[in-house]
Amino acid sequence: MNKPKKVAILTAGGLAPCLNSAIGSLIERYTEIDPSIEIICYRSGYKGLLLGDSYAVTPEVRAKASLLHRFGGSVIGNSRVKLTNVKDCVKRGLVQEGEDPQKVAADQLVKDGVDVLHTIGGDDTNTAAADLAAFLAQNNYGLTVIGLPKTVDNDVFPIKQSLGAWTAAEQGARYFWNVVAENNANPRMLIVHEVMGRSCGWLTAATAVEYRKMLDRAEWLPELGLSRESYEVHGVFIPEMAIDIAAEAARLRAVMDKVDCVNIFVSEGAGVESIVAEMQAKGQEVPRDAFGHVKLDAVNPGKWFGDQFAQMLGAEKTLVQKSGYFARASASNAEDVRLIKSCADLAVECALRREAGVIGHDDDNNFVLRAIEFPRIKGGKPFNIDTPWFTQTLAEIGQPKGAKVSVGH
């Protein structure tokens, strides 16, 4: 097929520390390879596509695209829109009653003269992209969709490492470095650090590891109460690992008695099934988003864990802090920028030869960086609790490893 004359970029779903860098990297690479290829960016993800609302990438924008690497978020905007959820699209005024959102999106791409659509998002975004790609193919639209995988959860099958996850772990660790000092604001303090991760504990585990690296680099003065023990991670709780609340309470009670505080890292998806069951038993409505996911900010897992442990540990005060918004809105770190640029470079190559798919290191093909076929993309990839660095972390903090738990998505 002929090279594209015009490409479009959109970001969608929640934020991750890679979106601006991915946008910037795509613009930079197209400008290097062939500046005659036009670029537009749809505002607010699939919402902008449905409404035909976009930015033109002018020569001035191309010249300053590198600025995007310095900022977090997505300058072109995000939204949570599922093209196959017709009822929600109608309710939000994105399509008219009786219209098919996929057809509206496809027709808008044709109207805008777009040959290649780059989607930057997580499993929901790329599932939506897969649905759109299939619709385009079945209806002979002749358009190519190429996805880039972002999610702080790092839970996309079959992608080894999603964009932004390394940065989110690093930033979550930085966040907790300040929060943990609250342990000396009150005797017998329980601090719960809630980390993002709906059905995958990778980010919680990785954040704990990054934070403990900071502890390794610090100097201590235990003679005046400045001890690593009071700054340490005392427990890590993730969806993929069973939790014996009573046994953990007994172990953590001994820590509290010794160092006068307990710090635990909790994945926001850990314990959700128990929380939802409690809410339903009380006749309470469980809020869900357009994709059917439980709204985790509404069920508040961190508070639930704090409530479960506080009395059993004899905590005088419980502090629950969430690092999610701080971590996910960061600019990409150097490690992520390298990954983003390599993925963006391949995405442009694929666009030139009109090869569809999601760009990533393929778990099932010797981790080769390639355009992974859309039908193989799905969310909910669990974190392997037998990963050596996680096993070592649990051993070092004295936490027994729980049994593996099958996690729904």
Q: Is 198 annotated as a binding residue?
A: yes
What tokens appear for 137 in the block? 């193919």
Is the C-alpha dihedral spanning 149, 155, 157, 158 positive or negative? positive
Catalytic residue of the set 88, 124, 131, 153? 153
To which residue do tokens 């930079």 refer? 28
Q: Is 174 annotated as a binding residue?
A: no
Q: What number of other Cβ atoms are within 10 A of residue 338's Cβ? A: 12
If we measure between CA atoms, which residue out of 118, 98, 110 comes closest to residue 22?
A: 118
User: DSSP letter string over 260-312?
Assistant: SEEEEEEETTTTHHHHHHHHHHTT----B-TTS-B-HHHH-HHHHHHHHHHHH
Side chain identity, residue 183:
N
Q: What number of other Cβ atoms are within 10 A of residue 367's Cβ? A: 14
Residue 85: strand, helix, or coil: coil
Q: Is 43 annotated as a binding residue?
A: no
Burial (CB < 10 A; 0-12, 13-18, 19+), residue 12, is buried
Q: Is 244 annotated as a binding residue?
A: no
Residue 343: strand, helix, or coil: helix
Q: Is 268 annotated as a binding residue?
A: yes
If we measure between CA atoms, which residue out of 105, 17, 114, 18 comes closest to residue 57?
A: 114
Q: Is 92 annotated as a binding residue?
A: no
Euclidean distance between CA atoms 266 and 254, whole angstroms? 19
Q: Is 123 annotated as a binding residue?
A: yes
Q: Would residue 244 show up in a list of annotated catalytic residues for this protein?
A: no
Q: Is 316 annotated as a binding residue?
A: no
- Quick check: 109 and 48 in contact, CB under 8 A? no
CA dist list (Å): 39 to 24, 31, 202: 12, 10, 35
Is the C-alpha dihedral spanning 96, 125, 404, 368 positive or negative? positive
Q: Is 327 annotated as a binding residue?
A: yes
User: Between vectors from CA 162 to CA 161 and to CA 168, what angle results, nearest 5°?
Assistant: 105
Q: Is 407 annotated as a binding residue?
A: no
Side chain identity, residue 381:
K
Q: Is 152 annotated as a binding residue?
A: yes
Residue 266: strand, helix, or coil: strand
For the annotated binding site for diphosphate, the residues are 14
Catalogue the active-site residues. Answer: 153
For the annotated binding site for Mg(2+), the residues are 123
For the annotated binding site, the residues are 14, 123, 151-153, 196-198, 268, 325-328
For the annotated binding site for substrate, the residues are 151-153, 196-198, 268, 325-328
